[in-house]
Amino acid sequence: MKPQQILNWQSSEILRTFQNQEIESWLLEKGPITERIRSSSNFKLEVLKDEFAPIDTINDDLIIKNFPTNKVREVKLFADDNEFVFARSIIPQETIHQGLSLLGNIKDKPLGDIIFSEPNISREIFLYAKFQYQHQEIWGRKIIYTVNNYPFSIAEVFIIPE
């Protein structure tokens, strides 16, 4: 089961209303999420989907929708065997071919390992939204990155109750 978005993606202004510092710290994390999980628990990654597929231009992306062929990768990250993050990456084929070919062959590695080791990757846009998952409201973030001026995005939904 995937988290269902219940609030549109918004800028960081929405974070001013936050009351939960733990959730906020994950949403504002500047380093690799996987590294932070590994620092306090056993980490596991499960690949749910990794293929070229159509995207939902309404919900998936502001920039990526301009590219006709996109690789969609969905994973779950676990902390001590507990679901912790649902992540969805959208990587245009042009980004793989012209930006960084490594993005086309991630397999079961954390994408953060690539992002934080490649100097040509930069963060461009941060957005936040609320989701419903197993009768709980949870939060997620979406980051649009570029590599050699070609975009890709990662949406991470933190399975931490509000």
* 117-133: pLDDT as tens digits: 999 999 998 999 999 99
Structure confidence at residue 9 (pLDDT): 86
Q: Which residue range(s) make up the domain with 73?
A: 4-158
Structure confidence at residue 131 (pLDDT): 92
Write down the residue that tokens 């939960």 correspond to: 20
More confident residue, 133 or 62: 133
Structure confidence at residue 13 (pLDDT): 75
135: its two tokens: 């009768």
Q: How many Cβ atoms are within 10 Å of 112's Cβ, its own excluded?
A: 19
Structure confidence at residue 23 (pLDDT): 87
* 75-101: pLDDT as tens digits: 999 999 999 999 999 999 999 999 999
Strand partners, 125: 144
Among 79, 81, 76, residue whose Cα is nearest residue 49: 76
- Please tell me the least confidently modeled range out of 18-22, 78-82, 115-119, 151-155: 18-22
Please give the share of the chain, as a percent, with pLDDT higher than 90.
Answer: 67
Structural domains in the chain (count) = 1
- In sequence order, what DSSP letters do the residues of 8-40 get, joined into one string? --B-GGGGGG---HHHHHHHT--S-HHHHHHHH
Q: Can you give the CATH number for the domain in which 127 is found? A: 3.40.1410.10
Dihedral angle computed from the Cα positions of residues 142, 14, 132 and 27, in that order, rounded to the nearest 10 degrees: 50
